[in-house]
Amino acid sequence: MNQNLIFIFILLATLSVGNALSHQFSKRDTQWESCLDNGLDFSIKISPDPPIEGQTITFTVFCNSRAQIRTILSVAFIQDLKNPPLFISTTPICGRPNLPACEGSIYVQHSFDGVPTGTSYLRVLLGNGLTKQLVCATASINPISIA
């Protein structure tokens, strides 16, 4: 009888502590830092977040700009900010033949195949690729490696 009471007490204490300690963990999104001081509102999301090495990554970029320039999206996968990127991908978005005109806000969703191994930073540029940049943002990432 005494052993049953001790067992029930330990069981109830364990369940009480388990309920008291339960916590909903929320995943932190990638934090983007602007490398331009032009006052434009922008947002960048990546999926999956964090990226997975060797798998497709999708970028969703929004920029609220009235500039009517030919626009390209450039994404650089960087290992060390002091050295050249591991890989750069450039994609025309608007203002080119067979693409929509660049008017008002820009919303881009584009996927790239294969996050290079060793990527530590991502840099996203949205602009004409030569002189006018609308968005420049850098984020530190820690890609998941699937061996």
Q: Residue 131: is its pLDDT beyond 80?
A: no
Q: Domain map of the chain by residue range?
A: 26-140
Topology of 26-140 in CATH? Immunoglobulin-like (2.60.40)
Structure tokens at 33: 């830092």
Q: Give the model confidence (pLDDT) of 27-40 as tens digits.
A: 667 888 888 887 77
Q: What is the CA radius of gyration of the chain?
A: 23
Structure tokens at 9: 């007490």
Q: Give the model confidence (pLDDT) of 75-110 as tens digits.
A: 888 888 888 888 888 888 877 788 777 777 788 888
Q: How far apart are CA 66 and CA 142, in angstroms?
A: 34
pLDDT score, position 80: 87
More confident residue, 20 or 137: 137
Task: Find, among 87, 69, 95, 71, the residue nearest to 123 by Cα.
Answer: 87
pTM of the model: 0.70
Look-up of token digits 């840099």: 123
Structure tokens at 23: 């916590």
Helix (H, G, I), strand (E, B) or coil at 70: coil
For the segment 112-141, the average pLDDT, to the nearest whole number, is 83
pLDDT score, position 21: 63
CA distances from 58 to 9, 12, 13, 81 (A): 52, 47, 47, 22
The bridge status of strand 87-94 relative to strand 106-112 is unpaired
Q: Residue 25: is its pLDDT beyond 60?
A: no
Q: Residue 125: is its pLDDT beyond 80?
A: yes
Task: Find, among 63, 44, 67, 74, the residue nearest to 105 by Cα.
Answer: 63
